[in-house]
Amino acid sequence: MSLILPGERRLASRPRFAFTLWLSLVVLLLIALWGVVPAIFAHQDPLVGNPLVALQPPSLAHWFGTDHLGRDIYSRTVFGTALTLKATLFSVAIALVVGASVGVIAGYIGGQTDHLFMRIIDVLMAIPNLLLAMAIVTVLGFGTLHIAIAVGLSSIATFARLSRGEVLRSKVNLFVEAARAGGVSHLTIIRRHILPHALAPVLSLAALEFGFALLSVSALSFLGFGAPPPQPEWGLLVSEGRNYIAAAWWYTTLPGLMIVFAVLATNRVAGFIQDRAEEQ
């Protein structure tokens, strides 16, 4: 008799859920390929335009139309994926590493250390993430790297609270108490007995946080904090087209839809990962 996991049973019993999950995976795979090998999918120069074809609607020659300088918007969207994805991944990595480290230290040590760290986390959570990211990037300066750092630092509170809760739940287990009584070092206890139990929920949160980070990176790029023109970024492409939206709807709409599709696909996959983690 074959063993069917709960997540697999859900896919079998809900065809629409399975379809949207696979569609989301295809979208994310395509976006990842855009970020790694953009030249395979777009053959026109994203930085050089032809003024004679400025603001042309979508066609076979220009799938997403052209911008006000005659540059191919599809090519700029494809080549702009790399900067957007790198900033998003880096920001999630910062939030994951810093936030999880703070949560593990606070939860394991406890006492005044836990109280101090959690009060700082409470202050950070009281400030909207995008507003905090804008304040940080204003201090650091403009640029894609600074956007990634700002978004990552603004998201550490969520990871810290989750990892702290998992540590508090894990450190009262009998095998942890036995290891502590046996003289095992604190670092060994954390590495062997605490982190494995806290890892799955934190990684599930990281998958879900990717969508929020992508939105934040695009929003800051839209506001002009990202890479300077003519370098393409998804948020910058939407920003450039806002002044032409009445005459050239495709300029803003089509790059903006890529942001929407990427976030929706990420949330769908992250939701599935979170469900599987809860069922195990």
What are the structural domain ranges in the chain? 22-34+67-279
What distance in Å separates the CA atoms of residue 227 and residue 143, rounded to the nearest whole number?
Answer: 5
Could you tell me if 136 and 217 are in contact, meaning their C-beta atoms sit under 8 angstroms apart?
no
pTM: 0.87
Per DSSP, what are the bridge partners of residue 66?
72
> Three-state SS for 66?
strand
* Dihedral sign for Cα atoms in the order 72, 31, 24, 162: negative
> Percentage of the chain with pLDDT > 70?
92
pLDDT tens-place string over residues 168-212? 888 777 777 777 777 777 788 877 878 887 787 888 888 889 999
Greatest alpha-carbon pair distance for the chain in Å reads: 78
Distance CA 221, CA 37 (A): 22
pLDDT band at 157 (very low <50, low <70, confident <90, very high): very high
Q: Name every residue whose Cβ is closer than 8 Å to that of residue 224 and which is 6 or more positions away in sequence.
A: 142, 236, 239
Q: Is the pLDDT of residue 263 over 70?
A: yes
pLDDT one-digit tens code per residue, 211-256: 999 999 999 999 989 888 888 999 999 999 988 988 899 999 999 9
User: According to CATH, what is the number of the domain 22-34+67-279?
Assistant: 1.10.3720.10
